[in-house]
Structure 1
Amino acid sequence: MRQTAKDRYTILYVDDEQSNLRIFKNTFRRDFNILLASDPHAAVEILKSNRVDLLITDQMMPDMSGVELLKEIKDLYPDVPPSRVMLSGYAQPDDINLAFEEYKLYKFLSKPWEEKVLKSLIIEAIESANG
């Protein structure tokens, strides 16, 4: 039986590079409902009005880093989404450790990612958050 869009998990992917957003959506749109934000402020707005099962964010973005986005989300919506993943080609270990300790980061994955690895991680992160 094929899942309807209503039955699928919803992922919010945040990245300032349009090509990364497009590749992510094209790769996973058959498996998940995909919401995209090209900046952290747009991501916060999307969370106001959408149920999201997993947030995936880049770390290096103008105006606000991925870790700063996770802090803002924790402050505004402590339990939404229940699981958070960071994809990045660049990260300071101290920032990432802080995100794990304080802002509910589930996993950090380096770019470039592989489809099978990322898909497994997405499912694992959502299922672990849902108990």
Structure 2
Amino acid sequence: MNATANQRYTILYVDDEQANLSVFKSTFRREFNILLANNSDEAVALLKDNKVDLLITDQMMPDMSGVELLKAIIKLYPEVPPSRVMLSGYTQPKDIDLAFDEYKLYKFISKPWEEADLKALIIEAIQAGHG
């Protein structure tokens, strides 16, 4: 499946490190509409004002963890976005299990990610969310 001019999926990527946001956007901007947030408040505001097909969040952030962000989003926007992915170099297995069980986490990916692998996962997660 390729995103076409008529159907460009929108991804919201949340990470507190500007370098990670920049790399993600430059890697995927040709195929997807990319929204960036460097904290949970920005992420929630973007979800309020935009149709998002996939949320990708870092786990370790200063204001709230990725799991806490997923918990907040599920309370505010239970069906938005339909798919959620977490990227992180750090993990607390209990927290991640909770995110899978209760906050619609689709996949957990360890950093650093490979472009081809992440692109395939993005497409798979969007299709699963729209299926």
Same fold (TM > 0.5): yes
Secondary structure at the aligned position of 1:84 is classed as strand
Secondary structure at the aligned position of 2:91 is classed as coil
Task: Give the length in aligned residue pairs.
Answer: 129
Cα RMSD (Å) of the superposition?
A: 1.0
Distance 1:130 1:53 in 2: 8
Normalising by structure 2, we get a TM-score of 0.96
Distance 2:124 2:26 in 1: 21
> What percent identity do the matched residue pairs reach?
73
Partner in structure 2 of residue 3 of structure 1: 4
Normalising by structure 1, we get a TM-score of 0.96
**Unaligned runs of at least 5 residues, structure 1:** none
Which one-letter code corresponds to 2:126 in the other structure? I
**Unaligned runs of at least 5 residues, structure 2:** none
Secondary structure at the aligned position of 1:27 is classed as helix
1:25-76 per-residue CA deviation (whole Å, 9 max, x = no partner) reads: 0000011000000101100000000000000000000110000000000000
Q: CA deviation at 1:7?
A: 1.9
Distance 1:13 1:37 in 2: 6
Distance 1:130 1:10 in 2: 13
Partner in structure 2 of residue 111 of structure 1: 111
Displaced runs of 4+ in structure 1, greater than 6 A?
none
Which one-letter code corresponds to 2:122 in the other structure? I
